[in-house]
Amino acid sequence: MKRLFYSFVILGLGLPGLVLAQDLDQLLDDLEENNPDPRYVMGTFEGTTIINGQSVELPGAGDLNFRISHRFGAVNLGIYEFFGLDQASTRFAFEYGIKDIASLSIGRSTYEKTYDGAVKIRLLRQQTGIKNIPVTVTVFSEAYVKSIRWDYPERDNLFTSRLSYATQVLVARKFGEIFSLQLSPTYVHKNLVPKPQDQNNIFAMGAGGRLRLTPRFAVNAEYFYLLPGQTAEDYINSLSVGIDIETGGHIFQLQFTNSRAMFARGFVTETTGEWLDGDIFFGFNLYRVFPLGEKRRNLRW
Structural domains in the chain plus CATH codes = 2-34 (no CATH), 41-299 (2.40.160.40)
For position 100, what pLDDT does the model report? Answer: 87
What count of Cα atoms within 13 Å lies in the side-chain half-sphere of residue 285?
32
For position 198, what pLDDT does the model report? Answer: 92
Task: Assign 294 a pLDDT band (cuts: 50, 70, 90).
Answer: low
pLDDT at 4 over 50: no
Closest C-alpha among 187, 188, 252, 261 to residue 220 = 252
Task: Assign 171 a pLDDT band (cuts: 50, 70, 90).
Answer: very high
For position 19, what pLDDT does the model report? Answer: 41
CA distance 153 to 161: 13
For position 119, what pLDDT does the model report? Answer: 98
Closest C-alpha among 124, 105, 150, 122 to residue 263 = 105
pLDDT at 17 over 70: no
pLDDT at 15 over 90: no
> pLDDT > 70: what percent of the chain?
84
Q: Which amino acid is at 87?
A: Q
Backbone angles phi, psi at 114, to 5 degrees: -100, 130
For the chain, give the mean pLDDT: 85
